Amino acid sequence: MPVNVTPRGPMPLLSLFRRSIASLLIFPFVVSAAAAGVFNPDTFTLKNGMRVVVVENHRVPVVTHMVWYTVGAADEGPGESGIAHFLEHLMFKGTMKRGPGEFSAIVARNGGQENAFTSSDYTAYFQTIAVDRLELVMEMEADRMTNLVITDKEVEPERMVVLEERRSRVDNNPGAVLGEHINGALYMNHPYRNPVIGWEHDIRGLDIKRILAFYKRWYAPNNAILVVAGDITAAKLKPLAEKYYGAIPAQPPVVRNRAQEPPQKAARRVVLRDKRVRQPSWRRTFIAPTLQWGDKADVYPLEVLSDILGGGASSRLYRRLVVEGKKAVSAGAYYSSDDRGPGRFVFRASPRGAVTMAELEKAVEAEIADVVRNGVTADEVRRAQQRMTAEAVYARDSLRAGARALGSALAAGMTIEDVEAWPDRIARVTPAQIQAAAKALFDTNRSVTGLLLPAKGS
């Protein structure tokens, strides 16, 4: 079944834009192109409240059709961890009109591809198919928005599938187990502390009544966003959207009432020893602002900083710790700026040879202190901006990038403007802003340090 779990929170815009680039455009041209917008979508709203976004790309007669529901793992109730992802699996079962598996079989027979994914902030379903088959998948997707039929015959086997997915992706992966414990320590109260796939005991306890209640509460046109990208125009899509999705009545609005994260005042440390570990690793995760949480002024400077520190083999951390210092076999940094709630700025490294974890930690801390004390150079900022804005421009070539970027942003509570203006806002970041953001963020009392080590004696 074509289902999967995405990482906690939306995919950062840079990750959606990032792709293999043979050569970079010169910086003045990139800024000029970025200022005109990235995907330049058309939008409209159906009478029942469903938002529709159209991204034209007429290179080939193909479209990507996506329905995004503004519900994810962070919207689950007590004892419901994993229910959003479990429901995602069950959406591929039958409806009043079609039997189990028939949806997928029809897409395949018509030469299409499909998938679905769940994060903390949204659940999405998509098909990529020839444009003359678009109406077919719209009819089927609209059908399962309200007419899902599930029984114990479907639920129990799928529960075993989800549990096996958890075992293979998490329980059998020491790094993933450590990640769950880091999230549990990082978020003291916010629901991001729970894994998207759910805790095993909750997955085992979910019953049909609870799953269907979740479905009926959240799956409605006024709680969904339709994004279609490819060989289509808004004028051609609108009558189809009105015919299939517009005919579905709106449901009472649902408030995404999530627990708030209190101020953090103490550093935390998580250590996992496991006999399966062959290469130790070190992480430090800081709770960080996003476009919807904390100091928004620091978000774009931190995005540029994450590229400077961890953007590949030319980044500061890789160059200084792997190439020059010979203390690590890998090193990098990552920043999630697009979460609906508090985000993360993560440093990671793995020691080389006889280098101890204490020595590696000291080396990474020295790099963090250097950024806080001395900032970054204008040349580093220019190069990062050039890479990042160029990747946004090149993302226009992708059939799916626009649908993914715009859909995830809207489903997480952001706006089209946040996506379209991203390159221009990145291009305006200054070294002084980056240093100020680093000083505000890198307080060890707002972080969790994680160590993944071999079991003693192994």
From first CA to last CA, the distance across the chain in angstroms is 38
Q: Cα dist. 448→191, 228, 284, 432 in Å?
A: 17, 40, 6, 27
Which residue's structure tokens are 């089927």?
Answer: 140
| Whole-angstrom distance, CA of residue 203 vs CA of residue 197 | 9
Q: Which residues contact 103 (CB under 8 A, 6 or more apart)?
A: 92, 95, 140, 144
Active-site residue, 391 included: no
Q: Which residues contact 302 (CB under 8 A, 6 or more apart)?
A: 288, 289, 335, 337, 345, 434, 437, 438, 441
CB 85 within 8 A of CB 198: yes
User: Which entry of 56, 76, 80, 88 is annotated as an active-site residue?
Assistant: 88
The token pair that represents 333 in the structure block: 């940094």
Query: Which of 283, 9, 6 lies closest to 169 in space, CA to CA?
Result: 6
Beta strands of 260-401 (E only): which ranges? 268-274, 281-288, 328-335, 343-351
Q: Which residues contact 382 (CB under 8 A, 6 or more apart)?
A: 27
CB 186 within 8 A of CB 346: no
| Whole-angstrom distance, CA of residue 381 vs CA of residue 289 | 20
Q: Specify which residues 332 forms β-bridges with.
A: 348
CB 390 within 8 A of CB 25: yes
Q: Which residues carry out catalysis?
A: 88
